[in-house]
Structure 1
Amino acid sequence: MKAISLIDKQQLSLINHEPIDALTAHNIEIDIVLSGICGTDLAVLAGREEGQIGIIRGHEAVGIVLNVGKHVTTIRPGMRVVIDPNEYCANCEHCRAAKTHLCNGKKNNGLAIAGVNKHGTFAQRFITHERFVHPLPDDISWETGVLIEPIACILNNIDKASLIPGERLLILGSGPMSLVAQLILRSMGIITLTTDSNTSRIAFGRSLGLDVVHPNELAMRLSTQEKMDAVIDTVGNQLETATHSVRRGGRIILFGFNGNYQYPLPAKHFLINAISLIAAGEYNQHFPRALNIARRLPELAKLVTHRYTLENYSHAFDELLNNPCTPAVKIVFTPNPHYL
């Protein structure tokens, strides 16, 4: 099958890959219909994060079941499904305590994540355990379905930050994850203000009725109103801005990935102003809730603006990495375009 693999540091390639593992009793084989490019994929290619060489990338995906193992009971061939890429072991101390996001891993080497440290979904087919496959209801489109994993990530951060209706939240960056968050938070009664330097992203967010401004406008907006109850940094290098924007007793939520970024924490300022710094980590059993929310927010599908075949992967990544004014929001691959 065709797949996109990280063949060297910051270098992808289209490869021919044939899985060597047989379909075991509890496994499911899936034809991938859509698989989304995530900010973590971009961070690896830009050198902001390390990537495991030889791994097929991709972890946001929906597809159609091709085959099931003999002991699979909840999924049938032909079903539309969404894939949970966080493959916890279910046996370690954290998993037994219902904290699967802290999984030690089968070999004590951490949570197994498809597309990160094991083969992922930028491929025509994908095999995983039954527990990581969820039926995709007929009233959820493929485009909305491919955002279920991002929704789960957002829900985890909302939970950890204890965000409640009526609060005012600043989101730094208006990429796909931020837009997903804004739509969810708006439905919960949380007031959002978002920044982005890409004028196309600003216009796109405003077309959805969201409050998005250029970073240069942020200081003026905050000078005319109270500081924010909470701030989410979806970029990964905006802690200084977050610190200046959050009110006393507020919360700052770390979200974006940038392994090269460091910030000299003004400990006394955080202490005397009772500012909480929150790192939620991976999501924990959020897929069922994410599916329910997706059914109520069909406008999420509008975020999928561009589709590419696996063969055109270089054009897709070039658009996101090298075009600062790109109109693309969420780009997805179509490994099996005959399903669309």
Structure 2
Amino acid sequence: MKRALNFNAGPASLPQPVLEKAQKTWMNYNGTGMAVMELSHRSKEFEQINNNAQLLLRRLMNISDDYEVLFLQGGASLQFSMVPMNLLEKGKTAYYVLTGSWSEKALKEAKKHGKTKILASTKEDNYRSIPKLENIQFTEEAAYLHLTSNNTIYGTEWSEYPKLTNVPLIADMSSDILSKHINVSNFGLIYAGAQKNLGPSGVTVVIIRKDLLERSQDSLPTMLNYRTHAKSKSLYNTPPTLAIYLLMLVLEWMESEGGIKVLEERNNEKAAILYKAIEESNGFYNPHAVLDSRSKMNVTFTLNNDEMTAAFLSAAKEAGFIGLNGHRSIGGCRASIYNAVPVEHVIQLTEFMKKFQKNYR
């Protein structure tokens, strides 16, 4: 069966071995005579899936026992609200770094729950870069600092994170989690929608330092309280069972590939190949992000006018490339090259780009 050359930003490409394994167990998981989505979430079979997924994530990211790992619903967008609801204490201020649309939306939700401040922003430069943050000093009124680690729309990514001592660092890592090594202990809370690097849409991973759970108040709605999910091992209500199963399979695949070290090397290779093709086009293709802020997950670029862009996207679609349209808010082109996108597909894309440039009149 021919597979698409999938460069969608999310839901995105999944590893072929994961899909093949899921297909084999589709009608009969582990001898139960039922598909995974038919299993009771209280059954020992699903409990094992849930536990395995958590253990694999802990192992791959080296997550210590100082943290809870939660599998929630609602996507990163719900976390825009849950983070301030749980962590923005009365009389405190939540600080936000704006690097794109998703950090703007996170700030918008936080404003509904308490006092906020913008620590830094690159909006004036159309979010082409990541701000330089050095020697940050917070007073006791700071509740946390929030940032978006990778910006899918604008194609920028943090290469180094702010070093904080007395204020928790909160990160939306939806589009680059497990694409490179990070030190989890530098963060108070990490959240990520699964539909880019972790699995299918429907499950959201939250990694929260246990001491921060003390900030969650009993007055919060039960389902929006982190302590609810920590106490119940993410099984307070019916979870997205199929999404968690596929998350587990993706994590198994990552481990079998050699873990984050191998995935990071591969992602660096893919990004280098694609950015080189853009740079060597002599201005036919133009990168959106500045050099030191370029994302290795979402490569954004433009052509010189709308007519050229439309012709490129039309020819790319005809050649079998999927998902190269830029986000509707800024246009242009975007190639999302997450963990599951093979190096060979990136090479094919660059060969197409060179051919299109040569033949375009």
Q: What's the TM-score, normalizing by structure 1?
A: 0.34
Structure ranking higher in strand proportion:
1
Determine which structure has greater relative contact order: mean sequence separation of CA pairs < 8 Å that are 6+ residues apart, divided by chain length.
2
Who wins on radius of gyration, i.e. which is larger? 2
Structure ranking higher in helix proportion:
2
Q: What's the TM-score, normalizing by structure 2?
A: 0.33
